[in-house]
């Protein structure tokens, strides 16, 4: 047939099928047209670009790989010529695959071949590649002004010291480049797989350095500058890669890839090998005018782990850009949630479908043991914290090895997103704990749960809050150069797409951030060729951004998330456009580095240094690590902007510091280009403090030049600010195939408890078949506060029971974990002279506090009933006798005792008293904190000597023992706790204190509150990670733990007479009369591997743990390894000293905790001596204003609540660190929210005695609204975290408890106890239609507001009751959360004798559309007598999911 005819016909039909003929044309729209055109298009066109991925290449010779691609495509298309013409890219070096123009039919045929792993259509998502540079304002199309003015960095030479380079990458072609600059003196070093042609006008030089790498396995390396690892190729293309179109990764994104300075030249220096490495200070490079940019490290978020911190280099932190990869998760109930992933479909996954879904717990081997996960999607919830990659690798290995088809991983961060690339097309999705909890709840409610996971999509722009500091980015301060503020700058370093061999891949790390800075410096160098290294550094630091596009402070991903400070990001996030025209620069003569820091390089020689402190070096930042008295700091600025210019100064003083500047105005002209000035920095108080931050800004109408400032006030000869979780096991009690189940029946139908119990027997008889079996099966009958029972049942019996119409819920019994006298004085409840509140409340006299815990040691002096009157007549409880517990063990102080052992089948009762007697000590400790009598002369080995007493020393105690020692852990059963709650309702307690982890849906606690009992729970010891707080039901008070103003400094004297100070509880044994010098050795991290071959017997061992995670994991391992080797002492550098009481285990051997700063100084001393020695003195104790307090403890669990996101938790913080209280006949320290809860209970007892008619809600309101948010110096309370941060409501609720303020709060937010049912009944009666209000739960009249999804303006209702002066007027003060506008109506409340209650509305409006994070504010009602403040937490959302997926 005539080819011309065929072409004409094809053209005609293409017009017809494209609909290009007019509607009245005879070819338009015949009935058969649609079918014919679809067939034509599929068979013959149109063609589009498809990517074929074939996995590992099968030949080492790239030509053979490409030949195999041609052969494969020929078998589909029909001819080799057409196959070659169709292929656009052949991937032949790192893997095997190709991109080819194909029809849809051809792509499907190709996908059927067995060698093909996946076929994906090419997709264009420009945001996936160039986004980081666009985000920084360096757009390529149209080109930004800076790119044009700098000529894209042309002829700037960037040296990449890394793992080498892959010269064939399209990112390094030299098309259009001129001759190599004449100043270049380098070489092209030839080697393995590297010939002369591998250098070019782009890669102008190459060298490699292998000497000294004895352990390198050179079989895994090219002995040349060729990159075997991919890291150097990635960083080089990020800094200076040329413009490359058509880049993609598994079809997830395609577009243009380019470096920051795409016309710069590259010189490659390979020092990174598969094993081994290199390092150096590179002072000489700075002295020779070379700008050196270093990655700051990936050991964040813990502080003091930043490296590459020499003052003459630029140290870079990593930040996130405005790009997100949301991944839709659809549950079988049609609920849609969203996580984050890089999930893409393999060829055999043509369409997402529902698959079985199982809960794998934390997906450890133990958790997955016995769980069938093959072919199922597994939910894993990791509630601990630690190095991110390691945790994910362990989980991923266990899940995928078990044959799972997918993974939903609930974790505290998604900054490890690229780890999901290892999933190889299997759906691996990261979610936060809130989403994880919703998935777990769905699984628990369904017999056959299913889920569908869609491939990831990508979004960019203002919907994604950015920048943020990445969680892995190492944080300051610098331990080697504390007078130099580090890092200097942050730059994009998360999910950066750049070259690797012939392809492009994502990578994350400060390694990706450093080349971003190098690219920017290249542009600046091209624009300002005469600027010095210091000038370039100054330009990027002083113009950096500290706010995002919405003018909100940049956040730092941390544990928990925080507002970024200079130790997170230096000057801020890099701003290339601003850096091109900074106005002023802080310049430095390179020789000045030697004057100030030469001794840091030439350590053991006499070196010529200035007498000035190092902070006088003219850096664009100021760091004062030990401010004790007023100092003057010198700086000078050079004008590089308009010749005639006037600059004003603006000072933001660090908290606790006053700063002034002289002169405050700088005037520049043609003859005056440089100005010097002085900054006077004065401490406002004497305190051993932490770093606080401020800034100095010079500004005029054209420029703003800002430098960050960090200051730490000290009063002693040391820097360090050195002021637990209980082990548990979740073991289910099982009798054969029977388990203990709890049946909840709601309100009791009889007042007579015997009739209630009989109805339980009858009901269970109908299920089991005989009354005898029913009686034998029941463990507890709940008959006082509500109706229900706990019984041993098979799963089938439990299901039959649940089907009865009277039964609201049947839940399996759960094992829960135990949580664990200065504190009362610190809270203002001084005993001598007696505080006013103590006197007015009569020390809590006759208030009954119920302790649900491990029992009590009745002989302790803290429970003496001397001087007590008769037991209150309202008491209806009993004194249950048992092992080592007789009638005399109850008293007028301990007025009742019960114990509950059912459901703890695995308990080793040989290690327990079968009675209310406390063998563990925990319950004795908590009871004495809440209500212990006054005991003089208490101490632990001479430490913390003073008077021990409880908060309400005249209160009565009722003891309910539910916790038992099982040998390896402490356990309690939810059935036993429920029985204790039920009995407590009957017995007549006023307050219940529970330092345990109990069921969030505890209907027992709700009934107790509705019967007028105030319940206080410990919030848990899983901090500092967010979303792990438990016991968060809205009807209870949830307590966080804080630190008090007491410290236990311990002096360490090194052999060079240097004195350092740590923290310990070290005391001398009787046979140690005097401290002496002993040998000192460096044990590294003191793992078995690190100590192998090191003689430590009789020596003090230095251990430095530079990773992070649950504290006890480190401490137990280190203690065991060090002391089993016969060490005579331990100096342990760790990220926190909040586990100080663990050093009690050292039994008189010196165990001292220090921070990494002190640890580094000890290590430096050891390295400088041939025979290092140290002497450790016993600890002593200091209290008062020298110790900055309160602070939220690092272990204290943080909000938000995953169970009740509309309820702000915790409610309050109270002392919980190193609390001295009773244990058996003695006294001991203990730490935990377990210690915080009885502090709150003690305060409530005083308030209950003072205001006996106040409801539970009124008491809760009083402590929340009067809480302290500032310390004694008026500074915001801090929260120990990774790194330390200013506390927010998810750390401490309303603040730190203030008993005296709570006694007279002015206004209270009261709640009818039945309102809890209106808002939250469905949380208890899960699977039935329940009677609830139509209002959102945040309308419950709580003394806080939490809005987890603010999308549009809303109004929140509240009401306050006047309990102060009868005639009173209150004004409102609003602190709106960032990004939210809040108004209150009416703004003024007037009370009088007839108007005791006022209602008001709080209007909230989001100020922008963004998928945001929680931000915090407050609403305060105040007059001349009272201040009533409630915390507010708001999260702006724009999608149908809560998760922060940005």
Question: Of 922, 997, 1239, 1426, which is the active-site residue?
Answer: 922
List, for residues 996-1051, the tens digit of each pLDDT value. 876 545 678 889 999 999 999 999 998 888 888 989 999 999 999 999 888 888 89
pLDDT at 1446 over 50: no
Q: Is 925 labeled as catalytic in the residue annotation? A: no
Res. 600 pLDDT band, cuts 50 70 90: very low
User: What is the Cα Rg of the chain in Å?
Assistant: 35
Please report the pLDDT score of residue 905 as a whole number. 63
User: What pLDDT, on a 0 to 100 scale, did the predictor assign at position 735?
Assistant: 36
Tell whether the model's pLDDT for residue 603 goes beyond 80: no
Strand order in the sheet with 1397-1406: 1307-1308, 1354-1362, 1397-1406, 1380-1385
Least trusted range by pLDDT, from 321-325, 759-763, 900-904: 900-904
Q: Residue 542 belongs to what H/E stretch?
A: helix 533-542
Please tell me which residue, 23 or 236, carries the higher pLDDT value. Answer: 236
The per-residue pLDDT for 536 is: 97
Is 908 among the catalytic positions?
no
Cβ atoms 62, 97 nearer than 8 A: no
Q: What per-residue confidence (pLDDT) applies to 375?
A: 92
* pLDDT reading at 44 higher than 80: no
Residue 1227: its H or E element: strand 1226-1230
Q: Which of 90, 125, 144, 162 is catalytic?
A: 162
> pTM for the whole thing?
0.81
Per-position DSSP letters for 904-956, written without gaps between them:
-TT--GGGS-SSSB-SSSHHHHHHHHHHPPPEEEEEETTEEEEEE--SSTT-E
Q: How many C-beta atoms lie closer than 10 Å to residue 332's C-beta?
A: 17
Mean pLDDT, to the nearest integer, of 637-645? 97
Q: Which of 794-803, 1149-1158, 1262-1271 has the lowest mean pLDDT?
A: 1149-1158
Establish whether 986 is a catalytic residue: no
- The reported pLDDT for the residue numbered 1178 is 86
Q: According to the model, what pLDDT value does residue 730 have?
A: 31
Q: Which residues, listed in sequence order, are joined to residue 811 by a DSSP beta bridge?
A: 742
pLDDT in tens, 1258-1275: 999 999 999 999 988 888
What's the average model confidence in pLDDT over 334-338? 89
- Give the tens place of pLDDT for each residue, 831-860: 777 888 889 999 999 999 999 999 999 999
- Return mean pLDDT, the chain: 85
Contact in structure between 705 and 697 (CB atoms under 8 Å)? yes
Higher pLDDT, 1139 or 899: 899
H-helix or E-strand containing 710?
strand 704-713
d(CA 1063, CA 1066): 9
Q: Which of 38, 507, 25, 13 is nearest to 235 (CA)?
A: 507
Q: Mention every residue, 6+ apart, whose C-beta is less than 8 A from residue 131.
A: 321, 322, 323, 460
Which residue among the candidates 474, 974, 1201, 1234 is catalytic per the annotation?
1234
Active site residue 511: yes
User: Quick check: 1204 pLDDT over 80?
Assistant: yes
Answer whether residue 351 shows pLDDT above 50.
Answer: yes
Per-residue model confidence as pLDDT tens digits over 168-222: 999 999 999 999 999 999 999 999 999 999 999 999 999 998 765 555 456 678 9
Instruction: Convert the pLDDT of each residue in 977-1011 to its tens digit.
Output: 989 999 999 999 999 999 987 654 567 888 999 99
Alpha helix ranges (H) inside 1180-1288: 1233-1250, 1256-1265
Is pLDDT of 1193 > 80? yes
Alpha-carbon gap, residue 1066 to 1131, rounded angstroms: 12
Mean pLDDT in residue range 31-59: 61
Which one of 134, 587, 853, 1138 is the catalytic residue?
A: 853
Higher per-residue pLDDT: 469 or 1273: 469
Looking at per-residue pLDDT, the higher value among 384 and 1391 belongs to 1391
Query: Given pLDDT bands bounded at 50, 70 and 90, which one contains residue 817?
Result: low
1407 closest CA partner among 553, 550, 554 = 550
**Chain-centre distance for alpha carbon 1382:** 28
- Interval 653-680 mean pLDDT: 96
User: In this model, does residue 518 exceed pLDDT 50?
Assistant: yes
pLDDT class of 284 with cuts at 50, 70, 90: very low
In which band, very low, low, confident or very high, does the pLDDT at 590 lie, cut at 50, 70 and 90? confident
User: Which tens digit of pLDDT belongs to each residue from 1071-1098?
Assistant: 555 678 999 999 998 888 889 888 899 9
Query: What pLDDT does 826 receive?
Result: 77
Where on the phi/psi map is residue 841: left (φ > 0), alpha (ψ -120 to 50), or beta?
alpha
Is residue 679 within 8 Å of 696, Cβ to Cβ? Answer: yes
pLDDT for the residue numbered 1143: 66
Percentage of residues of the chain with pLDDT beyond 90: 51
DSSP of 374-438:
TTSEEEEE--S-S-HHHHHHHHHHHHHHTT-SEEEEE-S--TTGGGGGGGTTSEEEEE-HHHHHH
**Helix and strand element counts for the chain (H, E):** 33, 75
Max intra-chain CA distance, the chain? 119
Question: 314 - beta bridge partners?
Answer: 293
Q: How many CB atoms lie within 10 A of CB 1012?
A: 11
The confidence score (pLDDT) of residue 22 equals 39
Q: What is the pLDDT, as a whole number, of residue 763?
A: 94
Q: Residue 568 catalytic? A: no
853 assigned to active site: yes
Residue predicted with more confidence, 265 or 411? 265
Residue 1214's pLDDT band (cuts 50, 70, 90):
very high
C-alpha pair distances (Å), 61 with each of 17, 65, 90, 220, 1293:
45, 7, 13, 17, 64
Of 14 and 187, which is predicted with more confidence? 187
Query: Of these residues, 68, 511, 891, 1344, which one is catalytic?
Result: 511
Distances (CA, A) of 880 to 143, 649, 876, 894, 912: 83, 74, 13, 12, 16
pLDDT mean over 747-751 = 88
Q: Where are the alpha helices (DSSP H) in 184-262?
A: 231-240
* Span 80-130, pLDDT tens digits: 999 998 887 787 865 688 888 899 899 999 989 988 887 877 654 333 345
Least confident of 43-47, 1091-1095, 1338-1342: 43-47
């Amino acid at each position: 047939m005539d080819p011309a005819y065929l072409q004409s016909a094809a053209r005609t039909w293409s017009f017809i099928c494209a609909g290009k003929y007019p509607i009245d044309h005879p070819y338009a729209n015949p009935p058969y047209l649609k079918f014919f055109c679809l067939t034509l298009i599929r068979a013959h066109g149109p063609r589009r670009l498809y990517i074929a991925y074939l996995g590992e290449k099968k030949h080492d010779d790239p030509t053979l790989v490409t030949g195999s691609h041609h052969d494969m495509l020929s078998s589909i298309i029909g001819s080799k010529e057409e196959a070659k013409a169709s292929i656009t890219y052949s991937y032949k070096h790192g893997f095997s695959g190709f991109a080819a123009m194909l029809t849809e039919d051809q792509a499907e045929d190709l996908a059927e071949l067995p060698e093909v792993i996946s076929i994906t259509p090419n997709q264009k998502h420009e945001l996936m590649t160039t986004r980081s540079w666009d985000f920084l304002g360096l757009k390529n199309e149209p080109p930004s002004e800076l790119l044009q003015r700098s000529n894209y960095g042309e002829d700037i030479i960037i040296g990449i010291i890394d793992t080498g380079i892959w010269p064939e990458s399209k990112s390094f072609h030299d098309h259009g480049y001129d001759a190599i600059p004449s100043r270049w003196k380098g070489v092209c070093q030839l080697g393995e797989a590297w010939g002369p042609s591998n250098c070019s006008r782009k890669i102008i030089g190459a060298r490699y350095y292998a000497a000294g790498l004895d352990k390198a396995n050179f079989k895994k390396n090219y002995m040349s500058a060729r990159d075997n690892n991919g890291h150097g190729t990635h960083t080089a293309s990020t800094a200076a890669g040329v413009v490359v179109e058509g880049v993609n990764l598994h079809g997830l994104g395609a577009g243009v890839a380019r470096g920051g300075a795409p016309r710069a030249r590259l010189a490659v220096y390979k020092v990174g090998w598969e094993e081994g490495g290199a390092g150096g200070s590179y002072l000489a490079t700075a002295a020779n005018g070379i700008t050196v940019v270093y990655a700051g490290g990936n050991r964040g978020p813990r502080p003091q782990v930043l490296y590459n911190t020499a003052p003459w280099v630029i140290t870079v932190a990593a930040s996130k850009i405005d790009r997100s990869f949301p991944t839709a998760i659809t549950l079988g109930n049609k609920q849609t949630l969203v996580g984050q992933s890089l999930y893409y479909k393999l060829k055999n996954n043509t369409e997402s479908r529902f698959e079985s879904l199982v809960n794998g717990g934390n997906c450890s081997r133990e958790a997955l043991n016995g769980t069938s996960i093959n072919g199922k999607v597994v939910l894993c919830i990791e509630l601990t914290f630690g190095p991110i990659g390691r945790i994910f690798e362990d989980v991923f290995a266990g899940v995928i090895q078990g044959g799972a088809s997918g993974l939903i991983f609930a974790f505290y961060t998604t900054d490890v997103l690229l780890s999901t690339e290892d999933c190889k097309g299997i759906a691996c999705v990261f979610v936060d704990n809130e989403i994880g909890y919703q998935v777990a709840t769905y699984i628990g409610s369904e017999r056959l749960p299913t889920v569908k996971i869609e491939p990831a999509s990508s979004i960019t722009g203002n919907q994604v809050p950015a920048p943020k500091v990445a969680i892995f980015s190492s944080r300051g301060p610098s331990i080697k150069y504390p007078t130099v503020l580090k890092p200097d700058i942050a730059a994009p370093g998360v999910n950066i797409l750049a070259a690797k061999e012939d392809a492009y891949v994502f990578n994350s790390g400060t390694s990706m951030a450093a080349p971003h800075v190098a690219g920017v410096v290249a542009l600046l160098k091209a624009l300002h060729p005469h600027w010095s290294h210091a000038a370039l550094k100054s330009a990027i630091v002083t113009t950096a951004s500290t706010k995002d596009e919405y003018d909100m402070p940049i956040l730092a991903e941390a544990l928990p998330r925080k507002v970024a400070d200079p130790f997170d990001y230096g000057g801020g996030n890099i701003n290339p456009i601003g850096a091109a025209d900074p106005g002023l620069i802080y310049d430095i003569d390179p020789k000045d580095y030697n004057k100030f820091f030469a001794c840091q390089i030439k350590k053991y020689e006499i070196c010529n240094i200035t007498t000035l402190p190092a902070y006088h070096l003219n850096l664009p930042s100021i760091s004062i690590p030990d401010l004790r008295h007023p100092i003057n700091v010198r700086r000078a600025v050079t004008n590089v902007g308009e010749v005639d210019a006037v600059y004003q100064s603006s000072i933001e003083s660090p908290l606790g510091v006053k700063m002034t500047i002289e002169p405050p105005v700088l005037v520049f002209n043609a003859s005056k280009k440089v100005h010097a000035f002085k900054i006077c920095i004065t401490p406002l108080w004497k305190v051993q403090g932490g770093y606080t931050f401020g800034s100095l800004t010079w500004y005029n109408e054209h420029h703003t030049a800002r430098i960050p400032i960090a200051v730490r006030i000290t009063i002693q000869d040391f820097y360090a600010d050195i002021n637990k979780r209980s082990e548990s096991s979740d073991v289910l009690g099982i009798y054969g195939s029977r388990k203990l189940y709890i049946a909840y029946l709601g309100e009791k139908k009889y007042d007579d408890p015997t009739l209630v119990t009989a109805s339980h027997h009858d009901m269970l008889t109908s299920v089991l078949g005989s009354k005898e079996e029913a009686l034998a099966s029941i463990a507890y009958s709940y008959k006082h506060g509500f109706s229900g029972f706990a019984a041993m049942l098979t799963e089938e019996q439990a299901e039959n029971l649940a089907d009865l119409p009277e039964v609201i819920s049947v839940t399996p019994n759960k094992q829960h974990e135990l949580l664990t006298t200065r504190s009362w004085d610190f809270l203002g409840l001084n005993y001598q002279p007696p505080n006013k509140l103590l006197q007015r409340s009569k020390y809590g006299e006759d208030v009954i506090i119920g302790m649900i815990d491990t029992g009590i040691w009745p002989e302790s002096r803290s429970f003496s009933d001397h001087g007590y009157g008769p037991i209150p007549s309202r008491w209806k409880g009993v004194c249950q006798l048992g092992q080592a517990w007789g009638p005399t063990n109850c008293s007028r102080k301990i007025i009742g005792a019960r114990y509950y052992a059912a459901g703890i089948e695995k308990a080793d009762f040989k290690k327990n008293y079968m009675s209310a007697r406390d063998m563990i000590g925990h319950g004795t400790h908590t009871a004495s904190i809440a209500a212990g009598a006054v005991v003089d002369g208490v101490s632990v080995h001479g430490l913390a000597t003073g008077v021990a007493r409880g908060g309400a020393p005249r209160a009565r105690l009722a003891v309910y023992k539910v916790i038992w020692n099982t040998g390896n852990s402490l356990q309690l059963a939810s059935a036993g706790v429920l029985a204790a709650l039920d009995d407590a309702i009957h017995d007549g307690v006023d307050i219940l204190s529970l330092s345990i982890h109990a069921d969030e849906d505890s209907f027992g606690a709700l009934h107790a509150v509705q019967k007028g009992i105030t319940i206080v729970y410990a919030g848990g010891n899983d901090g500092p990670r967010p979303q792990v707080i438990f016991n968060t039901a809205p009807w209870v008070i949830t307590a966080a733990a804080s630190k008090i103003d007491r410290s236990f400094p311990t002096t360490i004297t090194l052999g060079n007479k240097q004195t350092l100070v740590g923290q310990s509880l070290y005391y001398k044994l009787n046979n140690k009369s005097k401290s002496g010098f002993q040998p000192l050795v460096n044990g590294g991290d003191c793992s078995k591997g690190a100590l192998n071959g090191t003689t430590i017997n009789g020596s003090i061992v230095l251990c430095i743990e530079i990773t992070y995670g649950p504290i006890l994991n480190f401490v137990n391992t280190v203690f065991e390894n060090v002391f089993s080797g016969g060490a005579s002492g331990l100096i342990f550098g760790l990220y926190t000293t909040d586990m100080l009481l663990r050093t009690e285990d050292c039994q008189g051997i010196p165990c001292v905790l220090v921070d990494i700063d002190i640890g580094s100084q000890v290590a430096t001393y050891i390295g400088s001596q041939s025979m290092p020695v140290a002497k450790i003195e016993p600890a002593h104790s200091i209290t008062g204003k020298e110790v900055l307090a309160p602070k939220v403890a690092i272990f204290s669990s943080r909000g938000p609540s995953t169970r009740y996101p509309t309820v702000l938790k915790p409610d309050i913080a109270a002392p919980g660190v190193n609390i001295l209280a009773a244990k058996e006949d003695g006294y001991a320290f203990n730490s935990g929210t377990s210690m915080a809860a009885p502090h709150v209970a003690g305060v409530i007892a005083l308030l209950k005695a003072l205001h006996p008619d106040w409801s539970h809600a009124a008491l809760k309101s009083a402590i929340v609204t009067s809480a302290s948010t500032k310390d004694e110096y008026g500074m915001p309370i801090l929260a120990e975290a990774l790194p330390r941060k200013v506390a927010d409501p998810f750390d401490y609720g309303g603040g730190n408890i203030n008993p005296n303020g709570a006694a007279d709060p002015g206004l209270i937010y009261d709640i009818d106890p039945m309102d809890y049912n209106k808002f939250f009944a469905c949380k208890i009666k899960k699977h039935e239609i329940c009677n609830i209000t139509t209002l959102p739960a945040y309308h419950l009249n709580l003394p806080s507001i939490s809005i987890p999804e603010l999308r549009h303006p809303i109004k929140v209702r509240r009401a306050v009751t006047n309990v102060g002066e009868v005639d009173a007027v209150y004004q409102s003060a609003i602190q709106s959360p960032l990004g939210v506008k809040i108004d209150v109506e009416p703004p003024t409340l007037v009370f009088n004798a007839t108007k005791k209650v006022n209602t008001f509305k709080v209007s909230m409006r989001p100020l922008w559309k963004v998928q945001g994070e929680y931000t915090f504010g407050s609403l305060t009602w105040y007059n001349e007598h009272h201040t009533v403040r409630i915390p507010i937490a708001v999260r702006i959302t724009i999608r149908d999911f809560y998760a922060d997926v940005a």
